[in-house]
Amino acid sequence: MGCRRVVGIDGSFLKGQCKGQLLTTIGRDPNNHVFPIAWDVVDIDNKFNWKWFLQLLEVGLGMDAGRGMCVVSDQHKGLLEATKEVLPYVEHRKCARHIYANFRKVYSGIQSRNLFWKAAKSTVEGEFKNHMDEIRQISPGAYEHLMVREPNTWCMAFFSIGLACEAVENGIAECFNAVILDARKKPLLTMLEEIRLYMMDRFWRVHPSGKNEFEVRNGLESYGVNIEKRSCACRLWDVSGIPCVHAQASIMLTHQDPKTFISKWFGTAMYISSYSSNILPVNGNNLWSKATYIKPLPPLERRMLGKPIVKRKRHVSERDDKFSQVCSKGRTIQCQNCQQKGYNKKSYMDYITQQIKELRKSCYTDVDIMRCLGITKAHLEEFGYVVDWKEVDRVMKKKKDMDKEMKWKDVEMDKAIKKKKKKKDMEDGGDEGDGQEEDVEGDGEGDEVEGVEAEDVQGNDEGGEGVEVESENVQGNEEGVPVQQGHFGNHMQQRTRRPSKRIILQKLKKKVVDPFGIGMYEDKALVID
């Protein structure tokens, strides 16, 4: 087989009616492309199923207990234990992306992320220790967290030589899982048939080997290169199998072709050997003979709590699509309807719907919502809200009646004020000591006359010299006969009686503050009994 002896193993969930997992083994061809080797469907990815899958893989590839082989996977406990039992001599690398995903949950930040990837891609053990020391200075807990995860399984500085693969991630397996995403939503036979057709289509394609050229400068750094041993002090040539920039500079000085120093795994012979075999065609089910075996039962359905999840849970390191996005020109998206930033014309309805919900929680009526948001009846119905327009019309009519009544009360109050002022002017112009009485023309019901009060006068029982005081509607003296008030020193004391009912009309403007900064005003009457 022409692929390099480095395989990526991973499992992915089936999203169709039959639940389960698809176990895959992916290799790398000499052109560093994805090369699917084997795949299988199981009910769950536990130690037993992984062990069975690896045993078949060892027999099919002739792995010899893993000697001279490398396996890249995530940190699944069942897979790690099965690999130790079936392939005890294999070099087991762990995906650095999964290591960082767990690391970021506790220790996030740009500086920690950059130092982690520098440490993971260090080709020399001394360089790795320097980056780890920087991490320890920032956070001792982060340093302990990474050292417990066995750095020899995810750092390039500890990889063995001869495998011609410097990858620290299991990206080839993730890439294949993304390609067959739609196929995993279909029934088992349809899914397997689509994967087979996809592989057959890949074999028909032509992939040229091409030239490997590197144009990288190291500045003032210097490294030692051994052309005969095909080794460099940076160890990138030793691990990847391709001459690094330092090696290429040395080879060019000797007037040799750098292509002759590339590992054999990148050669045309190995590339042709990888695709020399073909996938045999399979006849349709109309030509299949009936099987005499017992008909298999459908798999047991494992029902989990809650609503079934179709989408894959994203890692913390993956991008999270937020509501507010930035376009390619670097400017924030702006809505064409309301000219607000943070959303576009398509998501305008979602924004307005959210604002309507907030206003309804604040006990706003449909009329107030239309005023705040500046929308009409048709717009409110367009956003999916059933509006009782009879109730809206009733509220609007009631408000108009209240405004009309308030205007009438204002007129009546002005009349009462003018009448009181006229009465006061007449009192000031008359005689002060003749005890003349004046009957006040009041309203029969006494509901809308303000400032007119009845005076209950206390008499002098001792018959002392009194002072004449005008009486206005004195209780018990309907004709307005003068009443003598007792003399208490040099001052006159009188006691007033509060009428049975008095209505004070006061015009208030109450401001209702809404979350959008739009003020609404209402006219109300304050009634005191």
Token code pair at residue 244: 């690094």
Per cent of the chain over pLDDT 70 is 62
Tens of pLDDT, residues 19-35: 889 999 998 887 788 88
Mean pLDDT of 73-85: 88
Spatial distance between the Cα atoms of 217 and 344, rounded to a whole number of angstroms: 45
Mutual angle of helices 47-61 and 77-86, in 10-degree steps = 40
Spatial distance between the Cα atoms of 156 and 160, rounded to a whole number of angstroms: 9
Total-model pTM:
0.48
Q: Which of 493, 430, 435 is nearest to 459 (CA)?
A: 493
pLDDT at 486 over 50: no
Instruction: List Cα–Cα distances, 287 to 110, 268, 283, 470, in angstroms.
Output: 60, 40, 6, 124
pLDDT in the model for residue 23: 92
| Average pLDDT over all residues of the chain | 72
Q: How confident is the model at residue 206 (pLDDT cuts 50, 70, 90)?
A: very low
Mutual angle of helices 125-138 and 110-120, in 10-degree steps = 160
Mean pLDDT of 325-335: 59
Mean pLDDT of 85-98: 90
The number of CA neighbours under 13 Å toward the Cβ of 455 is 16
pLDDT in the model for residue 4: 84
Strands (E), 103-248: 225-226, 231-232
pLDDT at 143 over 70: yes
| Cβ count within 10 A of residue 350 | 12
Spatial distance between the Cα atoms of 376 and 281, rounded to a whole number of angstroms: 65
Token code pair at residue 53: 């899958």
The number of CA neighbours under 13 Å toward the Cβ of 221 is 8
pLDDT at 37 over 60: yes
Spatial distance between the Cα atoms of 68 and 160, rounded to a whole number of angstroms: 10
Mean pLDDT of 213-229: 60
Among 69-83, 402-416, 450-464, name the one with the lowest average pLDDT. 450-464
Q: How confident is the model at residue 461 (pLDDT cuts 50, 70, 90)?
A: very low
Spatial distance between the Cα atoms of 281 and 197, rounded to a whole number of angstroms: 10
pLDDT at 5 over 80: yes
Whether the CB-CB separation of 325 and 344 falls below 8 Å is answered with: no
Three-class secondary structure of residue 309 per DSSP: coil
Q: How confident is the model at residue 232 (pLDDT cuts 50, 70, 90)?
A: confident
Q: Which of 156, 150, 98 is nearest to 122 (CA)?
A: 156
End-to-end CA distance of the chain: 101
Mean pLDDT of 223-231: 80
Q: How confident is the model at residue 453 (pLDDT cuts 50, 70, 90)?
A: very low
Query: Which residue did the predictor score with more confidence, 225 or 329?
Result: 225
56-60, 200-204, 315-319 — most confident range: 56-60
Three-class secondary structure of residue 336 per DSSP: coil
pLDDT in the model for residue 400: 74
pLDDT in the model for residue 127: 92
Whether the CB-CB separation of 66 and 90 falls below 8 Å is answered with: yes
pLDDT in the model for residue 383: 53
Q: Which element (helix H / strand E) includes 218?
A: none
Q: Which element (helix H / strand E) includes 143?
A: helix 140-148
Among 107-116, 147-156, 308-317, name the one with the lowest average pLDDT. 308-317
Token code pair at residue 306: 């809650």
pLDDT at 502 over 70: no
